[in-house]
Chain A
Amino acid sequence: DAGVIQSPRHEVTEMGQEVTLRCKPISGHDYLFWYRQTMMRGLELLIYFNNNVPIDDSGMPEDRFSAKMPNASFSTLKIQPSEPRDSAVYFCASSRWDRDEQYFGPGTRLTVT
C-alpha cells in the first residue's frame, strides 16, 4: 500500500480564498483523522470519521472549516474563507478498527498571506 496520501503538499494562498486539502487513507482502514500542527499549539485534532461518518468535530476551530468523507477512500478539509492564522501543517491519518496505530500522511503545508 502507498500509505496515506495527501495533496497538495504545499499551498500558498491569499487571505479570503477557499482552500481544499485532500486525503486518501489506507485501504481497509476504518478511521480517518484530520490534525493541524503549529509551533504554538502543537498537534491538534480537528475532526475524525469512523466508516465515513463524522464522529467528533469539536476541534474544528470555526465555521470556516468543514470536512467531508464521501467514501472510504477520500476525504477533504475545506477552509473558506482562509485567514493568515490558518497557516499550519495539516495532517491526515488513518487507522484500522482497533486504533492501535495511526498512519500519518506527509502533510500539507498551508501558508495564507
Chain B
Amino acid sequence: SQQGEEDPQALSIQEGENATMNCSYKTSINNLQWYRQNSGRGLVHLILIRSNEREKHSGRLRVTLDTSKKSSSLLITASRAADTASYFCATDQGGSEKLVFGKGTKLTVNP
C-alpha cells in the first residue's frame, strides 16, 4: 500500500477558518515533506520536518510529526481563497533518495 496516505481526501472550508490535513505512513522515515499543487500546475514544496523534530512553523503553516504513530498533520491558519489546492505529504523510506507521495487532500477555501 502507499507510504503516505492523506486524510481527508477532500476538505471545504470558509475563508478565515483553519484547515487541518493528516498524513499517515508505514515505514521509518528520515524526513517528511508537504507539497501543494494548484490545478494544472506542478507541485510546490511547502515545508520539511525531520524525524527528530515534533513541530515546525512557516508563516501560516504548522506541521507536526509523531513518529510513534507514524503520522503528521499540516495546519493552515486563517485560510484564504488562494490556499485552494491539493496538498500532498511525501516521505523518504528510511532515508531513501526517492520520495513516496500520498494521493493528497483537495482543499477548497470558499470566499
Q: Which of B31, B99, B103 interacts with A45 by CB under 8 Å?
A: B99
| Nearest-Cβ distance from residue A106 to partner chain B, whole angstroms | 5
Q: Which of A4, A91, A93, A101 has the most CB of B within 10 A?
A: A101
Instruction: Please tell me if the beta carbons of A101 and B102 are within 8 angstroms of each other in the complex.
Output: no
Which of B19-27, B41-49, B67-75 sits within the interface? B41-49
Beta-carbon nearest neighbor of A47 in chain B: B98
Interface status of A87 (Cβ within 8 A of chain B): no
Interface size class of B (residues with CB under 8 A): 20 to 34
Known pairs A42-B2, A42-B103, A43-B88; A103 contacts B45 (CB<8 A) = yes
Size class of the A contact interface (CB-based, 8 Å) = 20 to 34
Question: Given A42-B2, A43-B88, A101-B33, A33 and B98 touching (CB < 8 A)?
Answer: yes
B87 within 8 A of partner (CB): no
Contact status B104-A91, CB under 8 Å = no
Given contacts A91-B42, A100-B31, A101-B48, contact A43 B101 (CB under 8 A): yes
Secondary structure of the A side of the interface? strand
Contact of A104 among B44, B92, B97, B102 (CB under 8 A): B44
Query: Cβ of A45 and Cβ of B100 under 8 Å apart?
Result: yes
Tell me the B79-111 residues at the A interface (CB within 8 Å): 88, 92, 97-104
State the Cβ distance, A32 to closest chain B Cβ, in Å. 11
B48, closest chain A residue (CB):
A100
Kindly report which residue of chain B lies nearest to residue A103, judged by CB atoms.
Answer: B45
Can you show 12 pairs from A to B with CB atoms below 8 A apart? A42-B102, A42-B103, A45-B100, A56-B97, A91-B43, A93-B42, A99-B97, A100-B31, A101-B48, A102-B45, A105-B42, A107-B42
Chain B residues within CB distance 8 Å of chain A: 2, 31, 33, 35, 41-45, 48, 88, 92, 97-104
